[in-house]
Amino acid sequence: MHEIGGSKAVGLVATGTGEGGDGPRIEQHWVAVPRQRDIVVLLLSTPEASFPADERTFGKMLASVEIRGSAQK
């Protein structure tokens, strides 16, 4: 669980190589924020080796996000 701009959000981190399994390993962090009629999805997609540094930057970005019209406060 995350809190984005006062709204509750769900996060998921996944790692994989994509179709065929022979490409570079990619790590993704999905954050979904429910609103009244839709869902806002914020996504970090980066090479696995870069994930720790990029995740810190993503976290700073998430801290600055403001979601309006959220269903959950």
**pLDDT tens digits along 1-29:** 778 877 889 999 999 987 777 888 999 99
Residues 6+ apart with CB under 8 A from 68: 35
Residue 73 lies in a domain: no
For residues 25 and 49, give the distance between their C-alpha atoms in angstroms, rounded to a whole number.
Answer: 8
Containing domain of residue 9, as a range? 2-64
Task: Answer whether residue 42 is part of any domain.
Answer: yes
Instruction: State pLDDT tens for residues 24-69.
Output: 899 999 999 888 888 999 999 999 999 999 999 999 999 998 877 6
* 40 part of a folded domain: yes
Residue 69 counted as domain residue:
no
State the total domains in the chain.
1
The answer to whether residue 52 sits within a structural domain is yes
pLDDT value, residue 69: 62
Q: How far apart are CA 31 and CA 20, in angstroms?
A: 26
Segment holding 44, helix H or strand E? strand 39-47
